[in-house]
A = this chain, B = another copy of it.
Amino acid sequence: MTLSGLRHNIHVVIDGTDTPMGKLFDIVLLVAVIASVAVVMLDSVLIMRMKYGTIFYYLEWFFTILFTIEYLLRLFSTPNRIRYMFSFYGIVDFLSILPTYLSLLYVGVQYLLVVRILRILRIFRILKMADYMQQAGFLTMALRSSRHKIIVFFLAVIILVTIFGSVVYVVEGAENGFTSIPVSIYWAVVTMTTVGYGDISPKTPLGQTIASFVMIMGYSIIAVPTGLFTAELKKTMRPQLQPISCPNCGKFGHATEAKFCDRCGHDLHV
């Protein structure tokens, strides 16, 4: 087999899903990704680390070498190496193996090892090829087309929490836990999103009244992103317009079954 043929075959196995080998590769990779993320998680639990630390260490190296081989194969088989290396998944692939090698050079970089958790993002690539991710297309399309409205909504939320946070900072003061404006804004976010940790909570009657107002506001304006998204989703799920222009007047976008332009009456398909 020629080098070019080998490269093509590897590409088919790694990036394709149509061949039995391609499917097997995807399943093995999915299991390896989930298992390696589980190891990273459990390794962070003190009692697990003390008991099974050595096993985790060897498993980690096993996965790292596995993913390194996979990375090199991808690099070898991809049509455009530079583009792959600087693509989203190329960077994720590289960051998935880098920390383990770095831990050889520098001792005590424990927190750096958390970067390995990014491996979980690779699940998306494996599923990308599957039918499932087509479903996500609707979601992202609806999110994208309501983008501007959502940004305005977020801006309004940010300004509201800033003002309410500052007001409650003045009303409650440092002695009730509202030690600074940033902390009070954090409290306002906790309250308006209805999370409500309770690590900081108003103590004075006036503060509690303002807080009640913030809560009811937060409780109500959740209707805005929900309403926006629902409305957009409905639109994207409804029969689409034909993406054609009228050859006579140039009007773009026509109803699915339209044969004539509804602005000038010209035949659309001539």
Contacts and interface: CB of A to CB of B under 8 A. Distances in A.
A120 B133 CA distance: 38
A216 interface: yes
Contact of A230 (B127, B196, B223, B249): B223
- List 9 A-B pairs, minimum CB-CB distance, nearest first: A250-B250, A260-B265, A195-B196, A197-B198, A258-B262, A262-B262, A227-B230, A193-B219, A223-B229
Interface in A219-256: 219-220, 222-235, 237, 245-246, 249-255
Contact of A189 (B127, B133, B215, B267): B215
A10 interface: no
A207 to B, nearest CB: 10
A196 B208 CA distance: 13
Interface of A: 37, 40-42, 44-46, 111, 114, 117-118, 120-121, 123-124, 127, 131-133, 135-136, 138-139, 142, 148-157, 159, 162-163, 166-167, 169-170, 179-183, 185-186, 189-199, 201, 205, 208-209, 211-212, 215-216, 218-220, 222-235, 237, 245-246, 249-255, 257-267
Given A162-B117, A181-B44, A262 B259 contact: yes
A163 B95 CA distance: 14
A170 B110 CA distance: 9
A251 B219 CA distance: 40
- In this complex, the member of A192, A220, A225, A263 whose beta carbon has the largest number of chain B beta carbons within 10 angstroms is A220
B201 A197 contact: yes
